[in-house]
Amino acid sequence: MKPATKYIHAGADPDPSTGAIMTPIFQTSTYVQEAPGKNKGFEYARSQNPTRKALEEALAIIENGKFGLAFSSGVAATDAVVKLLEPGDEVIAASDMYGGTYRLFTKIFEKFGIKFIYIDTTNTSNIKKAVSKKTKLIWLETPTNPLMNITDIAGAATIAKEAGAWLCVDNTFATPYLQNPLDLGADIVMHSSTKYLGGHSDVIQGALVMNDAALREKLYFIQKSCGAVPGPMDCFLMLRGIKTLHVRMRQHCENGKIIAEWLRMHDKVAKVYWPGFPDHPGYPTAKKQMRDFGGMISFELKNDSREETMRVLSSTKLFALAESLGGVESLINHPASMTHASIPKEERIKNGLKDSLIRLSVGIEDAEDLINDLEKAIG
* Gyration radius of the chain's alpha carbons: 21
Q: Compute the least distance from the CB of residue 44 to ligand PLP, in Å.
A: 24
Q: Is 170 a catalytic residue?
A: yes
By CB under 6 A, which span of 87-95, 120-128, 130-138, 168-176 interacts with ligand PLP? 168-176
> Distance between CA 121 and CA 152 in Å, rounded?
8
Binding flag, residue 141, ligand PLP (CB under 6 A): yes
Q: Would you call the peptide bond into 143 cis, given omega within 30 degrees of 0 as the criterion?
A: yes
Q: Of 46-105, which residues contact ligand PLP (CB under 6 A)?
A: 73-75, 98, 100-101
Find the binder of ligand PLP among 23, 124, 135, 145 (CB under 6 A): 145
Catalytic residue among 96, 170, 234, 373: 170
Q: With binding defined as CB under 6 A, does residue 149 bind ligand PLP?
A: no
Q: Known catalytic residue: 6?
A: no
What is the size of the binding site for ligand PLP (CB under 6 A)?
Answer: 16
Which residues are 104's β-sheet partners? none
200 vs 266 by CB, closer to ligand PLP: 200
Closest CA to 195 of 180, 175, 210, 225: 175
Would you call 304 a catalytic residue per the annotation? no
Q: Rank residues 131 and 178 by Cβ distance to ligand PLP and give the closer one.
A: 178
* CB of 176 vs ligand PLP, minimal distance in Å: 14
CB of 192 to ligand PLP, least distance (A): 3
Nearer to ligand PLP, 190 or 367 (CB): 190
For residue 274, report the phi and psi dihedrals to the nearest 5 degrees: -155, 125
294 binds ligand PLP (CB under 6 A): no
Minimum distance between the CB of residue 166 and ligand PLP, rounded to whole angstroms?
17
When asked if residue 170 is in the footprint of ligand PLP (CB under 6 A), the reply is yes
Please tell me which residue in 6, 53, 83, 98 is annotated as part of the active site: 98
**296 burial via Cβ count (<10 Å: 0-12, 13-18, 19+):** buried
Cβ-Cβ contacts under 8 Å for 173 (sequence gap 6 or more): 141, 142, 143, 144, 145, 148, 195, 294, 296, 325
Q: Which is nearer to ligand PLP, 73 or 298 (CB)?
A: 73
* Measured distance CA(168)–CA(190) in Å, rounded: 7
Q: Which of these ranges, 105-113, 125-133, 167-175, 310-318, lies near ligand PLP under the rule CB under 6 A?
A: 167-175
Q: What is the DSSP string of 352-374?
A: T--TT-EEEE--SS-HHHHHHHH
Pinpoint the alpha helices (H) of 63-190. 74-82, 99-103, 124-130, 153-163, 175-178
Output 175 or 194, the one with its CB closest to ligand PLP.
Answer: 194
Active-site annotation holds for 52: no
Q: What DSSP line would sit under 243-276, residue for residue? A: HTHHHHHHHHHHHHHHHHHHHHH-TTEEEEE-TT
Between residues 183 and 323, which has the closer beta carbon with respect to ligand PLP? Answer: 323
Residue whose CB is less far from ligand PLP, 47 or 342:
342
User: Which residue's beta carbon is nearest to the bound ligand PLP?
Assistant: 74
Stretch that binds ligand PLP, among 84-92, 111-119, 170-178, 271-279 (CB under 6 A): 170-178
Strands (E), 100-205: 115-119, 135-141, 166-170, 188-192
User: CA-CA distances (angstroms) from residue 270 to 109, 298, 304, 349?
Assistant: 38, 11, 9, 17
348-353: Cβ within 8 A, 24+ apart: 350/95, 351/95, 351/96, 351/147, 352/96, 352/147, 353/96, 353/146, 353/147
Cα 208 from Cα 220, distance rounded (Å):
10
Is 172 a binder of ligand PLP (CB under 6 A)? yes
Q: Are 358 and 301 in contact (CB under 8 A)?
A: yes
Of residues 192-211, which lie at the interface with ligand PLP (CB under 6 A)?
192, 194, 204, 206
> Looking at beta carbons only, is 48 or 172 nearer to ligand PLP?
172
Catalytic annotation, pick one of 195, 216, 348, 359 = 195
Query: Does 175 sit near ligand PLP (CB under 6 A)?
Result: no
Q: Give residues in contact with ligand PLP (CB under 6 A).
A: 73-75, 98, 100-101, 141, 145, 170, 172-173, 192, 194, 204, 206, 339
Instruction: Report the catalytic residues.
Output: 46, 98, 170, 195
